[in-house]
Amino acid sequence: MDTATLSPSPTPASGAEHAHVLTLACTNRMGIVHAVSGALLQVGADITESQQYDSPESGDFFMRVEFVTPARREEVAAALEPVREEFGMRMGLWDAGHRMRTLVMCSKDGHTLNDLLFQQRAGTLPIEIPVVVSNHLELQSLASFYGVPFIHVPVSADPDSRDSKAAAEDRLRGLIAEYDIELVVLARYMQILSDELCRDLAGMAINIHHSFLPSFKGARPYHQAHERGVKLIGATAHYVTADLDEGPIIAQSVQPVTHAQTAADFVARGRDVEGSTLVQAVRWHAQHRVLADGRRTVVFS
């Protein structure tokens, strides 16, 4: 999501064209696009993609720009700083080729984890997964298959246990710092995060859930849906907040099902749509295409 100031990003070596992504949000008023374009012109930028949106709900203006320039990031940031100050912008500037360092959390169901690891290896997802964290051991072999370190962080219901929820979350914070993590993905991680951790991860944690909430809660939601004759199944990927499964939505997908399909067919179709929806949300986030507009998101897809 958007940042309050120009965010740090690895700077490419000098002597070549540098590709950048710029995002911004501010109260809408005349002259924003002109001012941004003028600042980019100062550093010889060639704009390759530009998208903008004026939100009627919040009155804010949102913009995402991709461009190439012979200037280094520091020079681009310096040219943009007066514009940021003049309009009170929340602004981010990133190296377009940077692969976002992503920690994936999982439990026992590996379909979404596999989708993320496969697409990372294939080079179709602009992230780097340096570590997988799980409260169970079942998916250790899957992470090993892709050559990604797997760390077991058990969670006990006993608050006095060495593996208590609070201790596990402190361990997670340590791993985020140790591995220089920029994004946390809950790939069917079956633990509810504390409100404090949700606040710590605001804007940098993505979760996935099936589309049946709040109708079919708890275990075996696809079997419940099959019993009720549901005709559409789908998934929602959203940012993690203290309001369980109610964070700002990034991506959603649905697929039709019929009375002729079994409950097992529903489960298989649900896994497919959950995996593809989570991958899409992670891709958009890693490409800096998602900006916050209150409880909603602006997605420049």
What Å distances lie between residue 64 and 55, 236, 289, 300, CA to CA? 14, 24, 7, 7
| CA dist., res. 100 & res. 276, Å (int) | 19
**Domain containing residue 35:** 18-95
The reply to whether 177 and 256 lie within a common domain is yes
Residue 6: the pLDDT is 53
Same domain, 88 and 140: no
Whether residue 162 is contained in a domain is answered as yes
The pLDDT of residue 5 is above 50: no
Is 132 within 8 Å of 151 (Cβ atoms)?
Answer: yes
**What pLDDT digit, counting tens, does each position of 140-174 carry?**
999 999 999 999 999 999 988 999 999 999 999 99
Residue 1 lies in a domain: no
CA distance 72 to 83: 18
Distance CA 294, CA 125 (A): 27
Residue 27's pLDDT band (boundaries 50, 70, 90)? very high
Q: Which tokens sit at 196? A: 């404090």
Structure tokens at 185: 């993905």
Say if residue 112 is in the same domain as residue 214. Answer: yes
Which tens digit of pLDDT belongs to each residue from 216-227? Answer: 666 677 788 788
Mean pLDDT is lowest, of 9-23, 112-126, 178-192, 262-276, for 9-23
Domain boundary among 61, 95, 129: 95
Is 4 a residue whose pLDDT tops 70? no
| pLDDT surpasses 80 at 124 | yes
Is 127 part of a structural domain of the chain?
Answer: yes
Instruction: Indicate the helix (H) or strand (E) that contains 221.
Output: helix 221-227
Q: Is residue 29 part of a domain?
A: yes
**Is the residue at 60 inside a domain?**
yes
Given a cut of 50, whether residue 98 has pLDDT beyond it is: yes
- State both tokens at 110: 């590996």
Q: Which long-range contacts (CB under 8 A, 24 or more apart) does 244-250 make?
A: 244/192, 245/207, 245/209, 245/213, 247/207, 248/292, 248/295, 248/296, 248/297, 249/296, 249/297, 250/206, 250/281, 250/284, 250/285, 250/290, 250/297, 250/299
Does one domain contain both 133 and 159?
yes
pLDDT at 215: 65
Position 12 in a domain: no
Instruction: Note whether 82 and 176 are same-domain residues.
Output: no
Among 46-55, 80-89, 171-180, 269-278, name the one with the lowest average pLDDT. Answer: 269-278
| Whole-number Cα distances in Å, 148 to 76, 253, 281 | 35, 28, 21
Q: Considering only CA atoms, which of 133, 139, 173 is closest in space to residue 153?
A: 133
> Within this chain, do residues 267 and 282 fall inside the same structural domain, yes or no?
yes
Same domain for 269 and 159, yes or no, is yes
Question: Can you give the pLDDT at residue 9?
Answer: 45
Structure confidence at residue 212 (pLDDT):
63
Helix and strand counts by DSSP (H, E) for the chain: 8, 13
Residue 2 in any domain: the answer is no
Annotated catalytic residue within 95, 245, 265, 272: 245
Shared-domain flag, residues 38 and 114: no
280: domain CATH number is 3.40.50.170
Number of domains in the chain: 2
| Mean pLDDT estimate for the chain | 91
Decide which of 95, 122, 153 is a domain's last residue. 95
If asked whether residues 33 and 118 sit together in one domain, one would say no
pLDDT at 104: 98
Residue 289 has what DSSP assignment? -
Q: Do residue 91 and residue 104 come from a single domain?
A: no
- The reply to whether 178 falls in a domain is yes
In the structure, what pLDDT confidence band is assigned to residue 209 with cuts at 50, 70 and 90? confident
111 pLDDT higher than 90: yes
On whether both 148 and 133 belong to a single domain, the answer is yes
pLDDT, tens only, 283-292: 999 999 999 9
pLDDT of residue 7 exceeding 60, the answer is: no
More confident residue, 223 or 60: 60
What average pLDDT does range 222-251 have in this prediction? Answer: 88
Q: What is d(CA 65, CA 37) in angstroms, rounded to the nearest whole number?
A: 10
Given a cut of 80, whether residue 2 has pLDDT beyond it is no
| 144 in the same domain as 91 | no
Q: What is the mean pLDDT of residues 41-53?
A: 97
- Whether 245 sits among the annotated catalytic residues: the reply is yes
* pLDDT band, very low/low/confident/very high, at 15 (cuts 50, 70, 90): low
The domain boundary residue, chosen from 52, 77, 95: 95
